[in-house]
Structure 1
Amino acid sequence: MNVRRVVLLNVIAFIVILAALYGGYSYYYQSTHYVSTDNATIEGQVVPLNVEIPGTLSDWNVSSGTTVTAGEVLGHVSTSAELQQLGQAASNPQVVKSVSNAAKIESPISGTVVNTTATAGQLVAPGQSLGEVVDLSKLYVVANLNETTLRNIDVGDTVDVYIDAYPDLSLKGTVESIGLAANSFFSLIPPSDSASGTYTKVTQTVPVKISLSGYGGENLLPGMSVSVRIHRSTT
């Protein structure tokens, strides 16, 4: 009985040692071959839908999820008030045409409307955003990497991308660009209190843009969480 117990304990100890060795080797291999982070999201170029002249939104034929093409007319701004303000110039065909063209709200790009805040009948002004369009066929990943890992990556490095929404899916990507400033540089809250002279050193993160390939059949959406594993540069 005692012999059995000793043998069993030795076997358990051997298994634990093997597991520890494997875990150590795996950690070493991962840290020396990859730069990984789960602080990453899917992004896309967001293009706002704006108006050129002030007035009343006479019609707005857009809702979230609508597919649009570049130059497609999505709505109009009532031009009667603007023409009245122009007075006699309103009788000039060129002026009328110019105002009428400005009253059209066109999509600047082809893509999908991901958000709309406008309603027919509301007052609108130049620069006001009525919605946003994103080309869902040109999505990419932005990974926020610790500044201490940047020396291990280069533009062109291969990336493994794992989508939280699709656990069984992995995509390939490529490091397209490395940010020229840390994320904290653009923060509204400064990272240090220069007035009091106090400073707490914190590892900063830098955005890295990663292009995606081969995701045509997947329903990827801007803002989705992902994890990335960048194959470390050997140079």
Structure 2
Amino acid sequence: MKDKRKQILIGLLCIIVASILGISSFYWYQSVNYISTEDARITGDLIKITSRGSGKLVDIDMEEGDWVIKDQILGRQEIENKNAEKTIIRAPQKGVIIKEQANIGEFYNPGQVLGYIVNPEKLYVSANIEETKIGKVKEGQIVDISIDEFDGIKFKGKVEFVGLAANSSFSLLPSSSSGSFTKIVQRIPVKISIEDQGYKILPGTNVVVKIHLKN
């Protein structure tokens, strides 16, 4: 009876050791061959729609979600100098209006933002990679992309650009002048292209990326 119990215990111990070795091997393989992060999202280059002069907005013809083409008329202003061309507000490029913040009757100065356009044909992933791993990331590496919007669908992409500074470098908040200091792992932005697969991808949606270190 004791021998049987001993054999069972030895068998269980072997299973536990094998499981630990298997899990360790899996994570070692993943760390050597891939870098993954959930700190990523779909984005695009935001193009501002701006006022071209000083004057009251008298007409606006754009709504969030509208497709527009370059130079399409989006609104008009009553400009003080009466220059007809300057009263016309045009789309700076083709794309989709993702933000409209113009109000008829309000006075706008030159360059004041009335809305934003993103070209959905030129969306990409902006991923933030820890500074301790960024040295392994190179342009051209293949990337597996999982978009929360499309559960179960895998997209492919490539690393297009590796940032030259940490995100904290662009922060407007002043550095702490107190005596205490907490070290925080910094993250570097990485731009990743998305292969077009015919899906309507929405800017701002969350993404998980897995960068192949060995293509």
**TM over 0.5, shorter chain:** yes
Structure 1 equivalent of residue 204 of structure 2: 223
1:10 to partner: Cα distance: 5.1
Q: Deviations over 1:175-196 (max 9, x none)?
A: 1111111111111224x53x44
Tell me which residue corresponds to 2:156. 172
Q: Does residue 204 of the first structure (1) align with residue 186 of the second (2)?
A: yes
Matched, 1:146 2:130: yes
1:136 aligns with 2:117: no
Give the CA deviation at 1:202: 2.3
Structure 1: distance between partners of 2:108 and 2:152: 46
Give me the whole-angstrom Cα distance separating, in 2, the residues matched to 1:58 and 1:75. Answer: 8
Please give the root-mean-square deviation of Cα atoms over the aligned residues, in Å.
2.1
The structure with more radius of gyration: 1
Instruction: Give, as a single letter, the amino acid of the residue that structure 2 aligns with 1:232.
Output: L
1:34 match: 34
| CA shift for structure 1 position 148 | 1.1
CA distance in 1, matches of 2:5, 2:48: 72
Asked if residue 82 in structure 1 is aligned to residue 81 in structure 2, the reply is: yes
**Secondary structure at 1:82's aligned position in 2?**
coil
Structure 2 Cα separation of the partners of residues 125 and 136 of structure 1 = 29
Structure 1 residue matching 2:158: 3-state secondary structure: strand
Q: Residues 124, 77 of structure 1: CA spacing in aligned structure 2 closer, same or farther, 3 A cutoff?
A: same
Q: In 1, are the aligned partners of 2:39 and 2:208 still within 8 Å (CA)?
A: yes
SS at structure 2 position matched to 1:109:
coil
Distance 1:162 1:7 in 2: 45
Check the 8 A contact 1:154/1:233 in 2, yes or no. no
1:22: which partner in 2? 22
Tell me if structure 2 keeps the 8 A contact 1:43–1:222: yes
- 3-state SS of paired residue (2:52): coil
CA contact (8 A) 1:44 1:134 kept: yes
Residues 153 and 233, structure 1, Cα contact 8 Å, conserved in 2:
no
Distance 2:3 2:150 in 1: 50
Gaps of 5+ in 2: none
% identical equivalent positions? 37
Q: Kindly provide the amino acid, as one letter, of the partner of residue 159 in structure 1.
A: V
Equivalent position of 1:96 in the other structure: none
Distance 1:22 1:167 in 2: 28
Q: Which has the higher helix share?
A: 1
Distance 1:220 1:13 in 2: 49
The residue type paired with residue 200 of structure 2 is N
Query: Partner residue of 1:61?
Result: 61
The two structures have a TM-score, normalised by structure 1, of 0.83
Partner SS state of residue 121, structure 2: coil
Do the aligned partners of 1:176 and 1:209 also contact (CA within 8 Å) in 2? Answer: yes
Query: Is the 2:144–2:154 Cα contact (8 Å) retained in structure 1?
Result: yes
How many pairs are equivalent? 215
Secondary structure of the corresponding residue to residue 133 of structure 2 = helix
Q: 1:113-151: per-residue Cα shift (whole Å, max 9, x none)?
A: 001011222222211111100001110011110111122
Q: CA deviation at 1:11?
A: 4.9
Query: Distance in 2 between the 1:148 and 1:179 partners?
Result: 14
2:84 alignment partner, SS class: helix
| Kept in 2: contact 1:152–1:233 (CA 8 A) | no
